[in-house]
Chains A and B, each alone.
Chain A
Amino acid sequence: MTVAVSARQITKSYTSHLALDSVSLTIPEKSIYGLLGPNGAGKTTFIRILNQIIRADSGTIEIFGRPLEPDHVNLIGYLPEERGLYKKLKVGEQLVYLARLKGLSRKDALDRIRFWFEKFQIKEWWNKKVEDLSKGMAQKIQFISTVLHEPRLIILDEPFSGFDPVNAQLITENILELRDRGSTIVFSTHRMETVESLCDHIALINKSQVILEGSKTDVKSKYRSNTFLVEHSGNSLQLPPERYQVLQQNPLAENLYQTLIRAEAGIKGNQLIRELVEQTEVHRFEEKLPTMADIFIALVKGEGDEALKKHLTEA
């Protein structure tokens, strides 16, 4: 795994509070990396440090293996949470300017703007002033300005807040496409559905600290609670109570039941299936993994591992 961003022991304090406390993160290349956390956790501060808008008090950052340096800004495309455009400037001129600030030549900028304008079918916007665009139209332009210089690292701060569903969908599609073409995408969010569907890696930041980091599958399996969902015929299951605990049973249809079973640690799903097939007909069998939202809420509430598992099981 090549690393796009490696942050070590990043600390940043403002006069009144500590924004980041020894934050260490590893963002793999060509991944979609979700930076999660409640408002005020320090996500935006971290993102601004990556963009060299502010400097960390201590700690080191490497981007594509090299310590953070001024030229790195040209490798990054950044869409801030509070985003805007020059209102009086025409769309085309504005995009050329923003691209040139990222180090593109005028000619390259024009070529790429044309590409995106064709892709989004907005060719006729070139000479429109931004103040004459609708909010949704302006959002498209903002997204284009972020990715115009084909950045290897794309950083989106709360990209889905404020975007209408059509644009959110459009941006999701394009994020995936850009990842497939080799870009690394980092975004911060507190919307769990997007994390569930989009991210392959996550970090959870709470109260200035990283409390969880890893690939989505690793994180989920770390918080698995050995709970299984079974749909079967007949309501009488005879399971050894020293190994299994029936948490819930609901009838789904005539003679069809859904049962939530928690197995003791060390017992594999296969073993449970074996026990089940002897006494009933199994229609559906699935390990119930916690959702990111469950993990997120539980961790932020500051519950210990055991309490967390309990919470997740009950959820």
Chain B
Amino acid sequence: MNKIWLIIQREILNRIQKKSFLITTILVPLIFPAIIGVLIYIMVKEIESARPDTVLVVDESGRCSLDSTRRFRFVPLNTPLNEAKKVFQQSENFALLYIPDFDLDSPEGFALYTRENPSIEKIESLRNILKDRIHDLKLEAYHIDREVLKKLKVDVNIKQFNITETGEEQSSNSGILYAAGFILGILIYMFVMIYGVQIMQGVIDEKSSRIVEVIVSSVKPFQLMLGKIIGIASVGLLQFLIWIVLISVLSSAVFAYFGMNMPQQELMEQMSVQMGNEEVQQAMQKQNPQMFKLMQQVNQIPFGKITLVFLFYFLGGYLLYGALFAAVGSAVDSIQDSQQFQFPITLPLLIGYIGLFMFILRDPHGPVSFWLSVIPFTSPVAMVGRIAFGVPSWQLALSMALLVGGFILTTWVAGRIYRVGILMTGTKVNYKVLARWFMMKG
């Protein structure tokens, strides 16, 4: 329809011509890389400045020769403590450590002299170094061979596998899936709320400025409603796209500036090329087993599928709630009056959001998770949170079909309320009135 298209265009132009759109669209992506940049900058500075601190050691026990570490360089002094203190005061060294002739069973009397208050972290790591040394001394005292002790240590590792519908085995990593579900679910929740309220605001503006009767003498109320919903969705998607592009470009720029060539991405590309090449895989596994495992798991997440499912629920959820927000906007005269109707329509969305944390992410395949991800009002948040954990195809199909049915239903119901509501100014509206509008013929 030509006229719907005009309305969509108008809605898009109205919004992207605003200064606030320009500002949020540019500022948000700038903030992310800026934060990353600042963090990396601090990290780099820290690493650069992290020369080992020199600690002078007076060892009266004669047993505690400490090996220098990355953080501390230990310099033994064969002088009494009093003289050592003088030496320390004249030097630029970090600290003076005093080790008395201690009893192995109750080691006491250690002292650390510094010029200023050192950080707790530094004291703690010095303490650990001493602890380890005394631990070793004790082993020797009890005539226990350190090698034997090492052998006594048992390390059990549970490797997790998902058996897919095709019977294929995949190792999985709950942590990554949790993060994916968490982020995607929240994105949908935010998108629906932010842009849903914008639809409502737009409808209220048209109604209260009384332009709406002129418009509906040119187009059908349903066309006006749909045009508005689609127009605002396009703005939302556009903004989202700009953010993603800007964030990734700026982030790579920041990484490049600090000489980090987006390690994961390159590795992933390499991996996908090398996947299937057993020898290379094995070679890599030996080289860096931890990283290899992580990459393998990340690789096994079906990104293409998740992206498609995400977009589907993104739009489906928005359309379902968008129509309801439009109906609420049509029923009231001002944004203040909208509260009483806004709560019941955002409640199911909120339930989906809470369910995401309480059930989906903890027990993605439990009965509550199943129902939350199938019922159309909660499924946009719930299913997207669940999808990375692997959802049987029939459940996904059922959920999608119900969501499509759901938004057709809400759009129809909302359309019937909307067409009457936009022309009713100054009416006291309650649920009975809404029901009457809904039933009204013509």
Contact = CB atoms under 8 A, between A and B. Distances in A.
- Asked whether A and B interact, the reply is yes
Interface of A: 12, 14-15, 48, 51-57, 70, 73-74, 76, 78-80, 82-89, 97-98, 100-102, 145
Contacts of A86: 205-206, 209, 211
Given A56-B442, A82-B210, 15 more contacts: A53-B217, A55-B442, A73-B217, A73-B218, A73-B219, A82-B213, A84-B211, A84-B214, A85-B211, A86-B205, A86-B211, A88-B14, A98-B218, A101-B3, A101-B218
Contacts of B440: 14-15
Contacts of A57: 441-442
A83 B425 CA distance: 12
A51 to B, nearest CB: 4
Interface in B10-44: 10, 14
A80 B213 CA distance: 7
26 contacts: A15-B440, A52-B217, A53-B221, A53-B423, A57-B441, A57-B442, A73-B218, A73-B219, A74-B218, A78-B213, A78-B214, A78-B217, A79-B214, A80-B210, A80-B217, A82-B210, A82-B425, A83-B210, A84-B210, A84-B211, A84-B214, A85-B211, A97-B10, A98-B214, A100-B6, A101-B219
Contacts of A84: 209-211, 214
A73 B442 CA distance: 17
Contact of A83 (B6, B7, B213, B436): B213
Nearest to A14: B440
Nearest to B436: A15
B358 interface: no
Nearest to B207: A84
A101 B9 CA distance: 12
A82 B205 CA distance: 14
Contacts of B7: 101
How many B residues are at the interface, by size bracket?
Answer: 20 to 34
Given A80-B213, A84-B211, A145-B214, A54 B442 contact: yes
Contacts of B84: none
Contacts of A53: 213, 216-217, 221, 423
B213 A87 contact: no
B214 A80 contact: yes
Contacts of A100: 6
A221 to B, nearest CB: 36
B137 interface: no
Contacts of B423: 48, 53
Contacts of B3: 101
Interface in B206-238: 206, 209-211, 213-221
Given A15-B436, A54-B442, A55-B442, A101 B213 contact: no
Contacts of A78: 213-214, 217
A53 B216 CA distance: 6
Q: What 5 pairs across the A-B complex have the smallest Cβ distances?
A: A84-B210, A55-B442, A101-B218, A80-B213, A84-B209
The residue in B209, B217, B441, B442 that gathers the most chain A C-beta atoms within 10 A of its C-beta is B217
A104 to B, nearest CB: 11
A80 B207 CA distance: 13
The residue in B213, B214, B440, B442 that gathers the most chain A C-beta atoms within 10 A of its C-beta is B214
Contacts of A51: 217
A70 B222 CA distance: 14
Contacts of B220: 70
Nearest to A51: B217
Contacts of B214: 78-80, 83-84, 98, 145
A131 to B, nearest CB: 9
A102 B218 contact: yes
B206 to A, nearest CB: 8
Nearest to B209: A84
A70 B219 CA distance: 9
Nearest to A101: B218
Contacts of B216: 53
Contacts of B436: 15
A207 B128 CA distance: 96
B209 A85 contact: yes
Contacts of A70: 220
A101 B215 contact: yes
A120 to B, nearest CB: 19
A291 to B, nearest CB: 32
Given A101-B6, A145-B214, A89 B14 contact: yes
Contacts of B215: 98, 101
Nearest to B10: A97
A78 B210 CA distance: 13
Contacts of A56: 442
Contacts of B213: 53, 78, 80, 82-83
B270 to A, nearest CB: 52
A14 B423 CA distance: 14
A87 B209 contact: yes
Contacts of A88: 14
A80 B211 CA distance: 9
A83 B211 CA distance: 6
B434 to A, nearest CB: 13
A278 B79 CA distance: 156
Contacts of B209: 84-87
A100 B3 CA distance: 8
A192 B10 CA distance: 41
Nearest to B210: A84
Contacts of A82: 210, 213, 425
Contacts of A97: 6, 10
Contacts of A85: 209, 211
Nearest to B216: A53
Contacts of A73: 217-219
Nearest to B422: A53
Contacts of A54: 442
A86 B210 CA distance: 9
A127 to B, nearest CB: 13
Contacts of B211: 84-86
The residue in A15, A55, A79, A84 that gathers the most chain B C-beta atoms within 10 A of its C-beta is A84
Interface string B402-442: 00000000000000000000010100000000001000111
A87 B206 CA distance: 9
